[in-house]
Amino acid sequence: MKEKDVLILAIESSCDETAAAVVRNGREVLSNVIASQIALHTQFGGVVPEIASRKHIEQINQVIAGALCEADVTLSDITAIGVTYGPGLVGALLVGVAEAKAIAYAAKKPLIGVHHIEGHVAANFITSYPGKLSSSGILTSVRPELEPPFVCLIVSGGHTHLVIVKDYGEFEIIGRTRDDAAGEAFDKVARAVGLGYPGGPKVDRAAREGDPHAIEFPRAKVEGAPYDFSFSGLKSAVLNYINRAKMTGETIDVPDLAASFQNAVVEALVSRAILAAGEYGYDKLAIAGGVASNSALRAAMAKACEENHFQFYYPEPVLCTDNAAMIGAAAYFEYQKGARHGWDLNAVPNLKLGER
Ligand code: KG4
Ligand code: ZN
């Protein structure tokens, strides 16, 4: 460990993952521990906020201890504590925020509250992750380190935004969804077709066996807003298709339906992101959020970026869905800018992007 190294202990508990990580200088993950609650919520078909909060309380201490241990550091080696303080489920966020404040106060470390979505974007700054190493120990990624400005497509369970990342932690929102978030559409379609929760990865998997052109679903455009998204029409079309098939007694080919739905979502996402990068004159395009782990989206974006001569950035799949390493990366860049929070830091369930 070099003396000038900045080590962030990061905590994330905004939804159904209790996570802690140690990140060096914003780009290198020393540990990334994620305790998922998926199995617990599956029986209810989605996240139950009260259960999520209780489970966070039960797990958070072990998760943090595990992150320090895996990184082979102690609290005294840590420079600052980063924590997600919004947006998310208020009770869930509170667990992480209270824990981060307690540790920072006791260990006399600076406290940095991080916007969850800023964290998702910052996953793209991580260049060295153990999972990225090839068997020969060589980094498989040959891309230069990502630095702003660039265009980022943010697609998670609660957000669908097209932004220009002007500087670290500085965003100009140029497009957003008018209704459902992309991940929400995946989850709703998965539930309707009987794939269950969590929907995104299940649709992704089912779609690999299907024909993306089997069913022609509508591609919605928002009049006068070329970078905005709308997924409710597509979701309704899928639900209508399922209901019609049930009424006429036809069997539904789930892989074909999954692949056709996914193809419609991916086309909408890729076309707008590519248009935005071209029109605004940026040659770097990144993706972030849980849906960024979708294999069809990654493949389509890689192809479109290559055709348009854009440099494409994408986090490792495990860094796309909720984790604390991304929060550590975002906290590092906030720390370098001088951002510090006081002991009055509170959970802000509807925190807007760019707000502090
Ligand atoms: O970023 P995230 O982990 O949590 C939020 O901040 O919302 O995103 C979760 C969302 C869920 O809607 C989930 O179904 C979706 O990301 N997701 C996927 C995939 N993996 C997760 N959607 C499509 N394909 C995937 N492979
Ligand atoms: Zn998230």
Dihedral angle computed from the Cα positions of residues 217, 221, 223 and 224, in that order, rounded to the nearest 10 degrees: -170
Q: What pLDDT shows up at residue 293? A: 98
- Which residue of 187, 287, 291 sits with most ligand 1 atoms within 8 Å of its CB, as the best mutation to test the pocket? 291
Q: What pLDDT shows up at residue 142? A: 59
Return the higher-pLDDT residue of 95 and 197: 95
- Which residue of 156, 298, 353 sits with most ligand 1 atoms within 8 Å of its CB, as the best mutation to test the pocket? 156
**What tokens does 347 get?**
């959970």
Q: What pLDDT shows up at residue 46? A: 84
Ligand 2 center to 94 CA (angstroms): 16
DSSP assignment string, 59-118: HHHHHHHHHHHHHT--GGG--EEEEEEESS-HHHHHHHHHHHHHHHHHHT--EEEEEHHH
CA distances 168 to 57, 132, 182, Å, are: 31, 23, 25
Q: Is the pLDDT of residue 150 over 80?
A: yes
Nearest ligand 1 atom to the CA of 157 is: 7
Q: Determine if the peptide bond prior to 315 is cis (ω within 30°).
A: no
Q: Is the pLDDT of residue 137 over 70?
A: no
Please indicate whether residue 290, judged by its CB atom, sits closer than 6 Å to ligand 1.
yes
Ligand 1 center to 141 CA (angstroms): 23
Q: What pLDDT shows up at residue 238? A: 97
Q: What pLDDT shows up at residue 197? A: 85
- Residues pairing with 12 in the sheet: 19
For residues 203 and 238, the answer to whether their CB atoms sit within 8 Å is no
Measured N-to-C along each axis, helices 254-280 and 295-307 cross at an angle, to the nearest 10 degrees, of 40
The percent of residues in the chain predicted with pLDDT above 70, rounded, is: 96
Q: What pLDDT shows up at residue 220? A: 81
Q: How many Å is the Cα radius of gyration of the chain?
A: 20
pTM: 0.95
Whose atoms come closest to the Cα of 261: which ligand? 1
Dihedral angle computed from the Cα positions of residues 345, 347, 349 and 353, in that order, rounded to the nearest 10 degrees: 40
Which burial class, exposed, middle or buried, applies to 344 when counting CB atoms under 10 A from its CB (0-12, 13-18, 19+)?
A: exposed
The percent of residues in the chain predicted with pLDDT above 90, rounded, is: 88
Point out the least confidently predicted range of 121-135, 165-179, 182-196, 226-240: 121-135
Q: Which pLDDT band holds residue 129 (cuts at 50, 70, 90)?
A: confident
Spatial distance between the Cα atoms of 24 and 28, rounded to a whole number of angstroms: 5
Whose atoms come closest to the Cα of 315: which ligand? 1
Pairing between strand 28-36 and 150-155?
unpaired
Residues 6+ away with beta carbon under 8 Å from 212 = 259, 260, 262, 263, 296
Nearest ligand 1 atom to the CA of 181 is: 12
Q: Which pLDDT band holds residue 343 (cuts at 50, 70, 90)?
A: very high
For residues 19 and 11, the answer to whether their CB atoms sit within 8 Å is yes
Q: Which pLDDT band holds residue 93 (cuts at 50, 70, 90)?
A: very high
Return the higher-pLDDT residue of 1 and 72: 72
Q: State mean pLDDT over 287-316.
A: 97
**What tokens does 213 get?**
């052109």
Report the largest interatomic distance among the alpha carbons of the chain, rounded to a whole angstrom: 70
Ligand 2 center to 123 CA (angstroms): 11
Point out the least confidently predicted range of 20-34, 137-151, 274-288: 137-151
Spatial distance between the Cα atoms of 226 and 271, rounded to a whole number of angstroms: 10
